[in-house]
Each structure stands twice: as C-alpha cells, then as structure tokens.
Amino acid sequence: MALWDQLKARVADMTAQTKTQVGRFKSKEFANASMAMCALIAAADGHIDDEEKRKTGAFIQSNDVLSVFEASELLEKFNWYASKLQSDFEFGKVEAIATIGKLRNKPEQARAVIQVGIIIGGADGNFDKDEQQAVREACNAVGINPAEFDL
C-alpha cells in the first residue's frame, strides 16, 4: 500500500474515533482548544492569508467531527485565533498553544484536539513539515509524546 493510501486510511480511522470522542467532550474549553489548533495549522508556515482562513472555515463548517458544536460559534473563535496569528504570529502562537495547554490535565480531550489538528493538517492531502511541527508543539503543551502520533 502506498504511503499516501496509508495516511488516508489512518486519517479516516482517526476521524471516526475523534468524532466519538468529541461528542463526549462537548465543552467551551474543548471547542476553544480545537479552534486554536485549527488556526495554528492554518498559520503553520508563519502566516495565514484570507484563502487559508476561508478554506479552514469551510472545513470547520462541513467537518463531521466538529458537527457536535454550533458552526457559527466555532467560526467566530477560529477567526479570533486566526486574527491573533495574522497580526503577530509569535504572540498569537503563544496564545493558541496556551489555550490548547489548558487541556493538559484532561488527556483524553487533549488527544482529541491533537487528532483534530492532524485531520485538519491532512485535509488538503499534504500534512507538511510546518503543520507537523505545530502539532508537535501542541503535543508538548498538553504533555503528550508526539511519537504517539508518529510525529
């Protein structure tokens, strides 16, 4: 099986598992951490443009995993983190990582947020090195070894 086929199969499996988990974790803290992760992935290369915001926003609205939340509220929070990253990438990154880090004592929720990041990163068919690094940093913020996700 080609590497790409393996990645697609793994993301599909992870998506099913994550949807089940997200339904159990329906809370404002989890939603905020998920949107912080989405914004980090969209801005992983150091900047986020309007097209990346649009594509990520469309993904958030249509993604089955996140359907347990009100899409308009998720988009509002995603846009808030994205604007922080746009205006000052390093400061925005610190803020997004800190939001994700609030799940440090909730390892199941933290893993689900990491999985959301991987799903978002792989949605375009290219989970690139910058996106992988963003997920690694989020893993470190919640005390999860990135190797658990083959990162």
**CATH numeric code, 3-146:** 1.10.3680
Domain spans in the chain, listed from the N-terminal domain onward: 3-146
Give the pLDDT score at 3: 43
On the CB side of 118, how many CA atoms lie within 13 Å of its CA? 24
pLDDT digits (tens, 9 = 90+) for 10-58: 555 555 555 555 556 678 898 999 999 999 999 998 888 888 888 888 8
18 φ/ψ angles, rounded to the nearest 5 degrees: -65, -40
pLDDT digits (tens, 9 = 90+) for 61-116: 887 777 778 889 999 999 999 999 999 999 999 999 999 999 999 998 899 899 88
Q: What is the pTM of this model?
A: 0.82
Cα–Cα dist 29/57, whole Å: 19
